[in-house]
Structure 1
Amino acid sequence: MRKGAKAAIVGTVFAVMVGGAGYGAYNVVTAISGDGGGSGAAGSSVTKKTGPVSKDEVKDTTGKFFAAWEKDQPAAAAGYTNFPEAAEKLLTAYGTDAHITHVKIRTHTIIGATVSYAVEAKVSYDGKSKPLAYDSELNIVRGNSNGAPLVDWQPSVVHPDLRRDDTLFTGEAASPPIEAVDRDGVVLTKEKYPSLGPILDQLRDKYGDTAGGTPGIELAIRRAAESAPDTTLVTLAKGRAGKLRTTLSASAQAAAEKAVTEYDESSVVAVKPSTGEVLAVANHRTDGFNAAFQGTLAPGSTMKIITSAMLIDNGVASMSGPAPCPETATWQSQTFHNLTNMRPNEGATLANSFARSCNTAFVKLIDGTKAHPLNDASLTDEAQERFGLGQNNWKTGIASFDGKVPASGGPNRAANAIGQGDVQMNPLNMASVTATAITGTFHQPVIVSRKLDDRQLATARGLSANTVAQLKSMMRLTATSGTASQVMAGLGGDIGAKTGSAEVDGHAKSNSWFAGYRNDIAAAAMTEEGGHGGDAAGPIVAAVLRTGG
């Protein structure tokens, strides 16, 4: 099925959508009881069963559910679930729209009420067939009305990659396949570079029609969101791939992939400061989300790169000028502290406070001076006009978030300056910030050339040579004798860095952030609950910087 027809099929697949409007309506109107309703449902009784489901109930219910599913009896199978209308739609689509037959289900383990199992089947379409195999799991719960044991219905019961309102479909692919290559022509595959899987799907969805290929026949998950690309599960007939050149570097990507696997919930991006080209993007997350490009988290003290630029550009401070670092600082009735065990330094310069990552020094300067006052919008203006952030106009080639630096009043004005409060960033944003800081020129990051589709890239004024010189000096000081020195040790050439840790409500450990550069490569990383900047994010960035620049 061609991409242009995606919207047109909504009416025809409505009846088999995973959940969909029917699922929502059923939840609200019909399923108040949360009990199965089909002919195969467990029988009702006058006395409502209570307590945990027994092992026998789990085995009996799953056995009957699996048997009906294997026999292609969607109504009967759905009757063993707590939301039979939604279940029947998807189980029907499994055989009709997805053309999946010869289903065999084998139970792996039963732990309490959770059952893991393997599905083996065949996908057949237009005279072509391929095997399908995958693992999934389900839970058995008691129905609300009579307490009968039922399958707790989720789309993932049918396939682990299905989410609400997704559909299964077998036919002509929505987009032709692509052969993505790096900047030097090296082929990039999701098998060799796992982080690129979702990104390659996006690139195929957006550029497959113009890359010169022809579509194949495949079983795919068609996502509910119109902007989300299909996820191919089985290819029955290969199409002809069109070649798509990216800005990525295979060597930098390999280093990024390896580095993020050392830390859970980690993401990293590397860019080429002289052009804005993305050299690497990698994520190591349980949810598969491209947090490197689309994350929206407080960046901690890496934000002080922008804050320092604001102070310098507005004449409030200079790298060699005073920026005292007291133990605490109060702004709008809120008291701010430094990292534990940081010794106060009332004689500190801006460069010293930057290199040590002293929060209180920046809070003390947030109001500016009498001659050079600052206001709630000063940091916002700096971020937007100089660094190109927060205007929702980046066109990288795939989905991305452009950062957010709002004009905040009250305590959050000071919190924003140290990367907390209302500020939101991701590694892509902070890699770009680093690139702008060391070149003075904002190059909107891209993962494919703008010449591919003539899209309009974002622009910004950039920084003066004077500001760049001071920022580079402060970042080099941080990398050689400040909070980033241990991580950056052994890296030669023109180097600099900034560490960051961002506190998150309800989390015992802060998120770890790190931004750094080496020659013509700038990188930024984030590790959720990774601690200080040098603990987790720092080693990831350093690994990428070692690949060249």
Structure 2
Amino acid sequence: MNGAAKGAIVGGVFLAMAGGAAYGVVTLVGDSGEGRSGAGGNGAAGTGAVTSQRAAGPVTEQETAQVAKAFLAAWAAGDARAAADLTNNAQAAQPALADFRSKALVSKAVITPGTPDGTGVPFKVEAEITHAGTPKTFAYDSRLTVVRGAGSGKPLVDWQPSVVHPQLQKDERLRAGTPASPPLKAVDRHGKELAPEQYPSLRPVLDALRKTYGEKAGGTPGVEVWIEPATADAPKRTLATLVEGTPGQLRTVLDADVQAAAEKAVAQYAEASVVAVQPSTGDILAVANHRQDGFNAAMLGRRAPGSTMKIVTAAMLLEKGLVAADRPAACPPSATWDGKAFRNQGGFSLQGQPFSTSFARSCNTAFISLIDDVKDNGALPRVAKEAFGIGLDWKTGIPSQDGAVPVTSGSAAAAEYIGQGPILMNPLNMASVTATARTGTFRQPVLVKASLDGRTLATAPRSLAPGVSAQLVRMMRQTATSGTAAKAMAAVGGSDKGAKTGSAEVDGAAAPDSWFTGFSGDVAAAAMVEGGGHGADAAGPVVAAVLNAS
């Protein structure tokens, strides 16, 4: 910067004046200790740069307010370099902030900080997006946190993609313009529109349907703001429609009434997901998620399902003749396999009770103690795949995960018997497991009929062995009336109902994931609440509400 330049602080942003012209520049010593300057700057001391002495200890409220104000002012002014230099990761922040102008088409922005709470600062973004000469308003709230730089000790904005927009995740970008796929009007099985405004948790599902079927359904694109995904196979997530396009229409097999109940049920819990399936057809009646990240965990999640997996394990043991619903089964307080001890919750045991009671009470040891009699670590994965369709290539109409039950050994094989270890499932998978147990035959779940696009659905090599489905249904009915699911299922009307509870331990989590699956008539549903505790406590009421709506 030449000697004629004059410096001033305006609104927390350093304005450098040279030759009568003003331009925004914020120069700070970076977290690595290297200076970076903006336009015309050299980063040297004495240039009027905003600097901070090396400090230690917690960031003060005054520092938080000052840094947040400067960062937001630079961002609003369109100076991505200056704003990025106020973060602890300028290399990642600068292109994201530059994209805000060039790729999200923001022509003007007013960004207003709120009152700091500790080291956090909420703020409101009011952006004017101009496309084809027409400006449109796009407003939202976000939040930033101020931390000390690891090397410099300076107060800096902790850079996260969510600073730009709260739904942005790693490697995602904010975009605006005319999208590749026209808008899509999805309707349920009865022709009722499934608008995201009315069914908000369906948004990722509708975005995925649009990516797959938008061009085939007709329609013309409008102007939108969306989140470009990190991977090419993921759907974009629409945030706002600035200019309406003409939507094409797509009929799904969802049921608007069941979907509405599912939306309301998951809204009662953080990080909750549920899926409802029709056992006689495989049609998916509802998909709902209540999550901060907008992830479709109901269909894409991969977590241990806990004791809901005992439906599959019981099927395998029944097929091998090692148990029968009405035959006594040992249920000691603990069982050891390959040096690892497994216990029942609270250390309970059952003496002289039939296997159906062990199933209804979720006795871990009744299952694990039979591994030595099975003598085959591949038996459970085979039944899961061959009879329940787990691990086959499901083509639901949008991307989904169809579960994994890998062949393993030692204590991990024992853990799989009770839904722990390397098993990975989601509510869609477990709703399908219950649907298969209900009818004895796997029918691949679908969101749209295969006849729409001619895709080939997954088919299981075989049905359950004769009599196994009837015993599974009987044991699930007992679980729903006098077992661990009785409290939650008491709210479900009618006598034709069954269920299974599950709690899955997760490394590092304060509480286990809550799992629950059940059926009522020709509807099967499964839910998972991350960190929700016991299966009947959180996931149970979600499933009960969905079953009652069918």
Decide whether the 8 Å contact of 1:62 with 1:151 is kept in 2: yes
Higher mean C-alpha deviation, range 107-116 or range 265-274 = 107-116
* 1:305 and 2:297 aligned: no
* 1:267 and 2:273 aligned: yes
Aligned to 1:23: none
Aligned to 1:394: 394
Deviation at 1:43? 4.2
* 1:355 and 2:360 aligned: yes
Q: 1:458 and 1:137, CA in 2 relative to 1: closer, same or farther beyond 3 A?
A: same
1:112-511 correspondence runs (5 A): 112-144=118-150, 146-340=152-346, 342=348, 344-368=349-373, 373-391=374-392, 393-460=393-460, 461-489=462-490, 491-511=493-513
Aligned to 1:518: 520
Aligned to 1:70: 76
Q: 1:78 and 1:528, CA in 2 relative to 1: closer, same or farther beyond 3 A?
A: closer
Q: Over residues 117-173 of structure 1, what are the superposed CA-to-partner deviations in whole Å (9 max), with x where a residue is unaligned?
A: 111121111122211211122233344554443333333222222233323333211
Distance 1:326 1:142 in 2: 54
Task: Give, as a single letter, the amino acid of the residue that structure 1 aligns with 2:511.
Answer: K
Decide whether the 8 Å contact of 2:307 with 2:502 is kept in 1: yes
Q: 1:450 and 1:57, CA in 2 relative to 1: closer, same or farther beyond 3 A?
A: same
Task: Give, as a single letter, the amino acid of the residue that structure 2 aligns with 1:544.
Answer: V
Q: What secondary structure is seen at the aligned counterpart in 2 of 1:420?
A: coil
Distance 2:153 2:487 in 1: 60
Q: 1:285 and 1:441, CA in 2 relative to 1: closer, same or farther beyond 3 A?
A: same
Q: 1:214 and 1:31, CA in 2 relative to 1: closer, same or farther beyond 3 A?
A: same
Q: Over residues 82-125 of structure 1, what are the superposed CA-to-partner deviations in whole Å (9 max), with x where a residue is unaligned?
A: 33343332332222222212211211111233222111121111
Task: Give, as a single letter, the amino acid of the residue that structure 1 aligns with 2:372.
Answer: D
Aligned to 2:57: 51
Decide whether the 8 Å contact of 1:434 with 1:515 is kept in 2: yes
Deviation at 1:360? 1.1
Q: 1:193 and 1:45, CA in 2 relative to 1: closer, same or farther beyond 3 A?
A: closer
Aligned to 1:3: none
Higher mean C-alpha deviation, range 290-299 or range 49-58 = 49-58
In structure 1, the gaps of 5 or more residues are: 1-29
Task: Give, as a single letter, the amino acid of the residue that structure 1 aligns with 2:363.
Answer: C
Q: What secondary structure is seen at the aligned counterpart in 2 of 1:340?
A: helix
Decide whether the 8 Å contact of 1:91 with 1:158 is kept in 2: yes
Aligned to 1:541: 543
Decide whether the 8 Å contact of 1:38 with 1:80 is kept in 2: no
Distance 2:183 2:33 in 1: 42
Deviation at 1:31? 7.2
Aligned to 1:19: none
* 1:531 and 2:533 aligned: yes
Deviation at 1:351? 1.4
Q: What secondary structure is seen at the aligned counterpart in 2 of 1:447?
A: coil
Higher mean C-alpha deviation, range 328-337 or range 183-192 = 328-337
Decide whether the 8 Å contact of 1:174 with 1:230 is kept in 2: no
Q: Over residues 13-32 of structure 1, what are the superposed CA-to-partner deviations in whole Å (9 max), with x where a residue is unaligned?
A: xxxxxxxxxxxxxxxxx977
Deviation at 1:524? 0.9
Distance 1:450 1:52 in 2: 58
Q: What secondary structure is seen at the aligned counterpart in 2 of 1:33?
A: coil
Decide whether the 8 Å contact of 2:52 with 2:154 is kept in 1: no
Task: Give, as a single letter, the amino acid of the residue that structure 1 aligns with 2:254.
Answer: L
Higher mean C-alpha deviation, range 71-80 or range 166-175 = 71-80
Distance 2:312 2:324 in 1: 14
Tell me the number of residue pairs that the alignment of Structure 1 and Structure 2 aligns: 513
Aligned to 2:116: 110
Distance 1:46 1:207 in 2: 54
The TM-score normalised by the length of structure 1 is 0.88
Task: Give, as a single letter, the amino acid of the residue that structure 2 aligns with 1:482.
Answer: G
Decide whether the 8 Å contact of 1:36 with 1:150 is kept in 2: no
Q: 1:504 and 1:207, CA in 2 relative to 1: closer, same or farther beyond 3 A?
A: same
Q: What secondary structure is seen at the aligned counterpart in 1 of 2:502?
A: strand
Deviation at 1:47? 6.0
Distance 1:306 1:124 in 2: 55
Deviation at 1:67? 2.8
Q: What secondary structure is seen at the aligned counterpart in 2 of 1:437?
A: helix
Distance 2:274 2:259 in 1: 10
Q: 1:186 and 1:341, CA in 2 relative to 1: closer, same or farther beyond 3 A?
A: same
Decide whether the 8 Å contact of 1:36 with 1:143 is kept in 2: no
Aligned to 2:37: 38
Decide whether the 8 Å contact of 1:412 with 1:422 is kept in 2: yes
Q: Percent identity?
A: 54
Q: 1:280 and 1:119, CA in 2 relative to 1: closer, same or farther beyond 3 A?
A: same
Deviation at 1:34? 6.9
The TM-score normalised by the length of structure 2 is 0.88
Higher mean C-alpha deviation, range 223-232 or range 538-547 = 223-232
Q: 1:58 and 1:388, CA in 2 relative to 1: closer, same or farther beyond 3 A?
A: same
Q: 1:113 and 1:410, CA in 2 relative to 1: closer, same or farther beyond 3 A?
A: same
Q: 1:233 and 1:354, CA in 2 relative to 1: closer, same or farther beyond 3 A?
A: closer
Task: Give, as a single letter, the amino acid of the residue that structure 2 aligns with 1:502.
Answer: A
Distance 2:232 2:98 in 1: 23
Distance 1:54 1:35 in 2: 24
Q: Pick the aligned partner of 1:90 from 85, 96, 103.
A: 96
Q: 1:65 and 1:301, CA in 2 relative to 1: closer, same or farther beyond 3 A?
A: closer
